[in-house]
């Protein structure tokens, strides 16, 4: 069991089955759950892919009580983190985007960020090897399976990662409440860019701000400067997507 | 005690003290917490406003163990919900915006939505009296005090509320994944608008979609149509703010 992670919840398990990029050892389904369309889909997918599923008593779920498992868990190989160099080598022939997380600590936030990035077409998420929440069961659940659709890149040093990106003709945008420019003053449609979002409380670290090509803010109303990091990301990254879609139509 | 709600956490209590729009009966501070700058600010504000605070043993927090209370709770009068008619009567002489929530069920989502709305300058949030999570302790905590900066309007019938808004020269925009228009195709800067966001799974109900003047979508990438409701709101509402800021400069 040691080499497997646990993912839980109907959506997480379904998405992992569909993505098929991680080995699934076994799926456990509670005897007590109502077999709805989602559960049937999981069974169908498992059969199709030759993956074992077992109906088990609720006592098997006792270790996972703290999670909203919906009566379904799967034993799955841990996600594979990518190295930045490998990501850059596989880069497609178009303008790409990355989101760099500088010390995001909350699993719910990381899960929501992963979902937002997949929906907005971001090409990868960079997290530091330390000082950041890692991809755990809660992150997988909150991401609603999005984790299987985007590479997670681990970097020992974000400063080095930013330098590598700059050396490869990427532009670095950092989000900071004290910036002069608003996030929509930047043109995102004619460059590879990496957007740095900071920790929930501390924001983006000074050294990364200094290394950035652009520092942008969201114009906060009501003197209330306390937007959740995933919601702040959403505002900025969908503006970048808006610009790219409009630009592609021209 | 019955007439008081409990709010918990340093930020929630601080914001409630600053806002001063709700009666605070008492603040309980755990003897075991480290007295940092935030705790000192709470004590100073309470002294200034003549509100009792007590240092208590950790057993007083036992009923609130499930919450991330940080050793601080306050007994506070429940938030006052507004009627839509009263909101409209108090409307300022400028273009306003509302967010209407059609059956949002998750406390974390409602808390994040409230924060986003305050940061984006939304003038009020409409929730139905039933079929929607109400403002509870978790919502207050996640909103990080934002709840004190925006009116929450309760409506017995969202359809009637929408009709009332239309009768008062408001325009109704609904978010729906099957819409033809993208959210940024609409001009938000020359009208009062109410944006309807749907439940996490079911989306905006058919009757409300039918009553809307505009139905818009967020262009989802990667065929992954599963953006969290607070993140979807963030993308749309900050686009509206962007348009309004740019328009005001002209």
Indicate the SS3 state at residue B197: strand
**In this structure, are A58 and A144 located in the same domain?**
no
Contact B234 A239 (CB under 8 A): no
**In this structure, are A120 and A176 located in the same domain?**
yes
pLDDT tens profile A157-179: 999 999 999 999 999 999 999 99
Return the pLDDT at A1.
41
Distance (Å, whole) CA B125 – CA B118: 10
The enclosing domain of B61 has a CATH number of 3.30.1330.30
**In this structure, are A236 and A141 located in the same domain?**
yes
**In this structure, are A109 and A72 located in the same domain?**
no
pLDDT exceeds cutoff 80 at B2: no
Please report the number of interchain residue pairs, chain A to chain B, with beta-carbon separation below 8 angstroms. 110
**In this structure, are A163 and A114 located in the same domain?**
yes
**In this structure, are B39 and B98 located in the same domain?**
no
Question: Cβ of A38 under 8 Å from any chain B Cβ?
Answer: no
Number of domains in chain B: 2
Question: Cβ of B105 under 8 Å from any chain A Cβ?
Answer: no
Which of B11, B119, B231 is facing A220, going by the closest CB pair? B119
pLDDT exceeds cutoff 50 at A43: yes
**In this structure, are A61 and A96 located in the same domain?**
no
pTM: 0.86
Q: Which of A47, A76, A105 is the last residue of a domain?
A: A76
Which of A115, A235, A245 is facing B234, going by the closest CB pair? A235
| Residue of A18, A221, A244 for testing the chain B interface, max B β-carbons within 10 Å | A221
The most confident of A89-93, A168-172, B22-26, B63-67, by mean pLDDT: A168-172
Q: For residue B236, what is the DSSP state?
A: H
Q: For residue B101, what is the DSSP state?
A: E
Q: Which of B76, B107, B128 is the last residue of a domain?
A: B76
The enclosing domain of A225 has a CATH number of 3.40.1280.10
pLDDT range class, residue B215, cuts 50, 70, 90: very high
Return the pLDDT at B186.
96
**In this structure, are B65 and B184 located in the same domain?**
no
In the sheet that B53-56 helps form, which strands lie side by side, from edge to edge?
B5-8, B72-76, B24-30, B53-56
**In this structure, are B140 and B241 located in the same domain?**
yes
Q: How many CB atoms lie within 10 A of CB A219?
A: 14
Chain A hits for B11, CB-CB cut-off 8 Å, are 226
Indicate the SS3 state at residue B209: helix
Domain encompassing residue A238: 84-249
φ, ψ dihedrals at B238, nearest 5°: -75, -25
Chain B hits for A115, CB-CB cut-off 8 Å, are 224, 226-228, 231
pLDDT exceeds cutoff 90 at B130: no
**In this structure, are A52 and A126 located in the same domain?**
no
Interface predicted TM-score of the whole assembly (ipTM), two decimals:
0.85
Return the pLDDT at A96.
95
Return the pLDDT at B1.
41
Please enumerate in sequence order all residues whose Cβ is within 8 A of that of B153, keeping only pairs 6 or more positions apart, or say none: B81, B82, B83, B84, B87, B98, B124, B125, B126, B127, B161
Q: Which of B76, B95, B126 is the last residue of a domain?
A: B76
Which of B119, B218, B242 is facing A224, going by the closest CB pair? B119
Which of A116, A221, A241 is facing B121, going by the closest CB pair? A221
Smallest Cα distance from A4 to chain B, Å: 26
8 A C-beta contact, residue B49 and residue B18: no
Q: What is the mean pLDDT of chain B?
A: 91
**In this structure, are A138 and A228 located in the same domain?**
yes
> A142 is written with which tokens?
């909150």
8 A C-beta contact, residue A235 and residue A208: no
Chain B hits for A230, CB-CB cut-off 8 Å, are 112, 228, 230-231
Greater model confidence, A65 or A182: A182
**In this structure, are B117 and B50 located in the same domain?**
no
Question: Cβ of A241 under 8 Å from any chain B Cβ?
Answer: yes
């Amino acid at each position: 069991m040691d080499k497997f992670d646990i993912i839980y919840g109907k959506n997480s398990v379904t998405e992992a089955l569909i993505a098929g990029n991680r080995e699934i050892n076994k799926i456990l389904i509670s005897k007590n759950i109502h077999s709805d369309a989602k559960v049937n889909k999981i069974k169908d997918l498992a059969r199709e892919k030759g993956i074992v599923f077992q109906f088990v008593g609720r006592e098997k779920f006792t270790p996972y009580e703290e999670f909203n498992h919906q009566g379904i868990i799967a034993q799955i190989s841990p996600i594979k983190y990518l190295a930045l160099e490998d990501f850059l080598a596989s880069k497609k022939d178009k303008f790409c985007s990355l989101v760099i997380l500088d010390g995001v600590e909350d699993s719910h936030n990381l899960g929501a960020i992963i979902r937002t990035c997949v929906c907005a077409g971001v090409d990868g998420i960079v997290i530091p090897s330390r000082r950041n929440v890692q991809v755990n069961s809660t992150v997988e659940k909150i991401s609603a399976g999005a984790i299987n659709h985007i590479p997670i890149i681990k970097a020992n040093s974000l400063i080095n990662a930013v330098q590598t990106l700059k050396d490869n003709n990427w532009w670095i945008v950092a989000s900071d409440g004290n910036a002069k420019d608003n996030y929509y003053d930047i043109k995102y449609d004619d460059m590879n860019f990496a957007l740095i979002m900071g920790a929930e409380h501390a924001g983006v670290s000074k050294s990364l701000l200094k290394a950035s090509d652009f520092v942008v803010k969201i114009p906060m109303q009501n003197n209330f400067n306390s937007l959740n990091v995933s919601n702040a990301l959403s505002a900025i990254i969908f503006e970048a997507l808006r610009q790219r879609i409009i630009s592609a139509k021209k």
